[in-house]
Structure 1
């Protein structure tokens, strides 16, 4: 699909103050799809806060730094984002925001061409946000539900999950968390577990280390856990550091998407041990799809969408929530039967290629933004 109108390249302003600048959905799928379609993109993200240099302009992409919103320190990032968007939005056909707090932060600027990419359920996520006092979590969540319906009357939305549609009254384009499916991958096997993604207690970071500990002992020291991703809370950091000290965990921290995905190849299994929390119940853990896309079976807790994918494809094993022994037993089963692990990986990969390949989702994403630009751009 052409990224031009009347010979002029379409321009997108993409903004986040919460996500890592190398976030897979934002940078490596959506922005890459826009650039491939001929768009020009200005990307505002917290590069410096993540110890990254701001990339020089190249190939249609211009990057600019914003402060990072984290914990209770969010006001400065919101103010900086508002000022930057106020200045840059008139020169862009679409303003695409990826954080819930950016929607109220830019309210009143008259941005008819703003699109909110809904990655998660913010109201559901509040139950685990320790930066918000506990007595305020339910009232703020209820207020946010009302705000969402107000936002959808004013702005187009993109939804990362079909399940999110139930929160809204209008129909919105769904751009699922599809992945780039590699052409070829090695078979699953060996004795290396992997986890790719942010580390929090809610995402099972402490449980993963305990699973690795028990699987390591049950395999006479063969099984280890390789982790790619930053720790987002102190408990997760402590768990990872303890696992490294014991020699059962190799922790790489954050890595660019290409290196992170390469870590998955040829592993025994990928761990996705998220807890049973409201924010996760309507979402597909992207890591589960990534493991299967690389031909590696997933060991996952029974969140509805993850369970459905793994059971339908036969691409892994489902274990009870917060049952580290069951997860360790599942890992040991795969280690003892490497042919089963390889077969699971092949089956999961086939289904992901059919349903979750970004080669298909990227076109729908670009088409949705092109439609917004045609109807709402201040440049047209």
Structure 2
């Protein structure tokens, strides 16, 4: 049944940064380009951002930020906002597992869960949850996922997530925007773009940068874009900055962050071997390759697969700063090979992970669900 006027989406997160690449710069951008009207509920103030002014197509609303054990206020505010706004939207797209519980009982049949990660696996690194509770809570979450599946449409960010569910669900991979042109990789600048945590290898990358800096007589440096999410990561970055081998730029808007990748020697993705990461493709690896820059990554299955297939970087052991530095030095000594690796990776990403293709499939799936479930039918 045709809907009156443009399609309308209510997009909600209390956990992710309002400028999250998947949410704001891929999914919402694709909806807007397709003529949808979007209301975006996110923790702008909690991330020290102003609430953007409304446009005819996009309205932004601030919600409290859910972080650590401070989550109840965010859940309550999100529940109240969804209760108020859901009836005027064709789709309610939520991005955080806790929003499923927060909106339970509201009768929002047009709510869609965008499954970004493995929440049960992620509990292994959640220091706000006492260690003895992590395993039973993870088991409970697995049961809750199966219950949610019976009542809600799902979008999966990885094909590997399908194993957690019994039904078939649309997969909207973490594809990236591939720039039309990029400079060749090379020089002496390593880059890392993304949140900084111990689990994401922040301390290892700073130590690797120190070793590569020393091994190149001070030529190689590391440019880091992203906020520190724990004190150990903040301290590591500050040590690297003080020593002169790290430039830490903090958070940057997506376009500026992506621009820092261009022309780098290599991009670092040093995620640890944790359950939450094993079934996921690290988005930053795909982003580096999309910009024609080789990736140095730990051997998580999907990351290793793409790098080996395209011969577009190096695989290093987990928590191994020496091997990471050695890989960087090899690329620095052979800039032609670094540039060639970047081109091979870019070709693979253009054919397999280009959001120009994924965006259309995402919009088509939400349009289909809206046609079946929208309260405005």
Q: TM-score, normalised by structure 1?
A: 0.98
Aligned to 1:20: 17
SS at match of 1:222: coil
Task: Give a deviation string over 1:168-190, Cα, whole Å, max 9, x none.
Answer: 00000000000000000000000
Separation in structure 1 between the aligned mates of residue 370 and residue 14 of structure 2, nearest angstrom: 23
Whether the 8 Å contact between 2:226 and 2:250 is mirrored in structure 1 is: yes
- CA–CA separation in structure 1 for the residues paired with 2:232 and 2:35: 44
Matched, 1:317 2:306: no
- Between the aligned partners of 2:242 and 2:118, the Cα distance in structure 1 is 36
1:298 Cα deviation after fit: 0.0
1:112 maps to 2:134 = no
Does structure 1 retain, via aligned residues, the 8 Å contact 2:3–2:376?
no
Where 1:12 maps in the other structure, the secondary structure is strand
- C-alpha distance in 2, partners of 1:142/1:260? 37
Give me the whole-angstrom Cα distance separating, in 1, the residues matched to 2:313 and 2:51.
39
Give the whole-Å Cα distance in 2 for the aligned partners of 1:56 and 1:325: 48
Q: Which 4+ residue blocks in structure 1 deviate beyond 6 angstroms?
A: none
Residue 148 (1) aligns with residue 148 (2): no
The aligned counterpart of 1:234 is 231
The residue number in structure 1 matching 2:55 is 58
Q: Match of 1:225?
A: 222
Once the two structures are TM-superposed, the CA of residue 322 in structure 1 deviates from its matched residue by: 1.0
The equivalent of 1:197 in structure 2 is 194
- CA distance in 1 between counterparts of 2:355 and 2:307 reads 19
Cα distance in 2, alignment partners of residues 230 and 255 from structure 1: 9
**Which structure 2 residues correspond to residues 74-89 of structure 1 after superposition, within 5 A?**
74-89=71-86
For 2:95, the equivalent position in structure 1 comes to: 98
Say which SS state the counterpart of residue 8 (structure 1) adopts.
coil
Deviation (angstroms), 1:58: 1.2
Q: How does 1:160-239 map to 2 (within 5 A)?
A: 160-239=157-236
Which of 353, 356, 361 matches 2:358?
361
Shift of 1:323: 1.2
Identify unmatched segments of 5+ residues in structure 1.
Answer: none
The alignment partner of 2:97 has SS state of coil
1:294 is matched with 291
The equivalent position to 1:306 in structure 2, one of 299, 303, 311, is 303
- The aligned counterpart of 2:256 is 259
- SS of match in other structure, 2:141: helix
Deviates more, 1:52-61 or 1:166-175: 52-61
The 1-side partners of 2:196 and 2:97 are apart by 21
Q: In the TM superposition, what whole-angstrom CA distance separates every residue of 1:84-119 from its partner, at most 9, and x where no partner exists?
A: 000000000000000010001100000110000000
Q: Distance in 2 between matches of 1:366 and 1:272?
A: 30
2:124 is aligned, of 123, 127, 138, to 127
Contact between 2:4 and 2:376, CA under 8 Å: does it hold in 1? Answer: no
- The offset of 1:324, in angstroms, is 1.0
Aligned mates of 1:184, 1:30 — CA distance in 2: 23
Q: CA RMSD in A?
A: 0.8
Conserved in 1, the CA contact under 8 Å of 2:279 and 2:301? yes
- Judge conservation of contact 2:227–2:251 (CA < 8 Å) in 1: yes
Q: Deviations over 1:187-245 (max 9, x none)?
A: 00000000000000000000000000000000000000000000000000000011011
Residue by residue over 1:55-81, the C-alpha shift from the partner in whole angstroms, topping out at 9 and shown as x without a partner, is 111140000000000000001100000
The match for 2:339 among 319, 339, 342 is 342
SS of the equivalent of 1:182 reads coil
State the TM-score, normalized to the length of structure 2: 0.99
Residue 259 of structure 1 and its aligned partner are, at CA, apart by 0.2
CA displacement at 1:5 relative to structure 2: 3.6
SS in 1 for 2:60: strand
